[in-house]
Amino acid sequence: MRVTHTFEPVYNSNSRVLILGTFPSVKSREGNFYYHHPQNRFWKLIAALVGKPVPETIAQKKELLLRSGIAVWDVVAECDITGSSDASIRNVVPTDINRILDAADIVQIYANGAKAAQLYHKYLEPMTGRPARKLPSTSPANAAYSFERLKEEWRAAFRYVG
């Protein structure tokens, strides 16, 4: 099924870290925001790392990101995808992350999971000339990582945010 990304990136001029996913899941597309699946650990993880309560609403999630210097978007703007399966992504049209890189002093780009890292390397790194560091996926499908292990791996990303 051909799908187009329908919601905007979250960033402002104070963003220092850019976290890129692959493409929104079915639940995220339904909820019209990033990491909307209730079992995805992204919001719980970000809140724990910046020492804030877990946000519930989209407005609270945006505020948490922006106050913490975190930008969020995805590598893929449009693709063929089956359900929420990153492995099924084909015929990629990448996002133009230069709009974030031109507006904010991003000191580090992180990929949320192996597929995001692979797609970034293939489509966006040639455009930006900047590498992205792969972090373990916050997806519930990444059962190999406990929340504590995930938090430890992601902690390094948060030396740039405040």
- Summarised one tens digit per residue, pLDDT across range 10-53 is 999 999 999 999 999 999 999 999 999 889 999 999 999 999 99
Domain that holds residue 134: 2-159
Supply 76's token pair: 């893929």
Q: How far apart are CA 144 and CA 150, in angstroms?
A: 9
Whether 45 and 127 have beta carbons less than 8 Å apart is answered as no
| Domains identified in the chain, total number | 1
Provide the CATH number for the domain around residue 84: 3.40.470.10
Mean pLDDT on 119-137: 96
Tokens 């190999």 found at? 144
Q: Cα torsion for 124, 10, 150, 133, to the nearest 10°?
A: 20
Kindly report, residue by residue over 147-160, the tens digit of the pLDDT.
999 999 999 777 76
Q: How far is CA 146 from the centre of its chain?
A: 19
Supply 108's token pair: 């580090």
Q: Where are the alpha helices (DSSP H) in 8-133?
A: 26-31, 42-50, 58-67, 98-103, 114-119, 125-128
How sure is the predictor about 161, in pLDDT bands with cuts at 50, 70 and 90? low
Kindly report, residue by residue over 29-39, the tens digit of the pLDDT.
999 999 998 89
Share of the chain above pLDDT 90, in %: 85
Whether 120 and 105 have beta carbons less than 8 Å apart is answered as no
